[in-house]
Structure 1
Amino acid sequence: MSTGRLSGAAEGLPSDAQKCLEDLHIFNAEELAALLPYLGERKIAAGETLWHEGQAGSYLSLILSGHLEAKKDTEFPGKQVVVAVFGPGAVVGELSFLDQSPRAVSVVAMEDARLAVIGRDEFGKLLADFPEVGMKLYRAILLALASRLKKSYERLAAIF
Structure 2
Amino acid sequence: MSIEQLVEATASLNAPDAFRPRFDAKRWAQFGSYLQQHKLRAGDMLVRFHDQDRNMYLLESGNLQVYVPDDGNLAPRRRPVAILRPGSVVGEPSMFGDTPRMAQVEAMSPAVVWVLTRPRFEELLARVPDLGIELLRAIGAVMAERMRANLERGQPIV
Which of the five TM-score ranges fits, normalised by the shorter chain? 0.7 to 0.9
Structure 2: gaps (5+ residues): 12-20
Conserved 8 A contact 1:69-1:109: yes
Q: Could you say which structure has the greater relative contact order, defined with CA pairs below 8 angstroms and 6 or more residues apart? A: 2
Q: Is the 8 A contact 1:44 1:114 kept in 2?
A: yes
Deviation, structure 1 residue 87: 1.3
* Count of residue pairs brought into register by the alignment: 142
Q: State the shift of 1:51 in Å.
A: 2.0
The Cα RMSD (Å) is 1.6
Match of 2:35 among 34, 39, 42: 39
TM-score with structure 1 length normalisation? 0.82
Q: How far did residue 97 of structure 1 move?
A: 2.7
Question: What whole-Å deviation, never above 9, does each CA across 1:35-89 have from its counterpart, x for those lacking one?
Answer: 1221101111111111210111221101111111111123624222111111112
Question: Could you tell me which amino acid in structure 1 is paired with residue 36 of structure 2?
Answer: G
> Could you tell me how far 1:129 is from its partner in structure 2?
0.9
Tell me which of 82, 101, 111 is aligned to 1:103. 101
Cα distance in 2, alignment partners of residues 69 and 136 from structure 1 = 27
Residue aligning to 1:147: 145
Q: Is the 8 A contact 1:69 1:86 kept in 2?
A: yes
Q: Supply the distance in 2 between the matched residues of 1:125 and 1:98 (Cα, whole angstroms).
A: 15
TM-fit CA distance, 1:109: 0.6
Residue 61 of structure 2 corresponds to: 65
Give the gaps of 5 or more residues in structure 1.
Answer: 1-13
Residue 56 of structure 1: aligned partner: 52
> Residue type of the partner of 1:90?
S
- When normalised by structure 2's length, the TM-score is 0.83
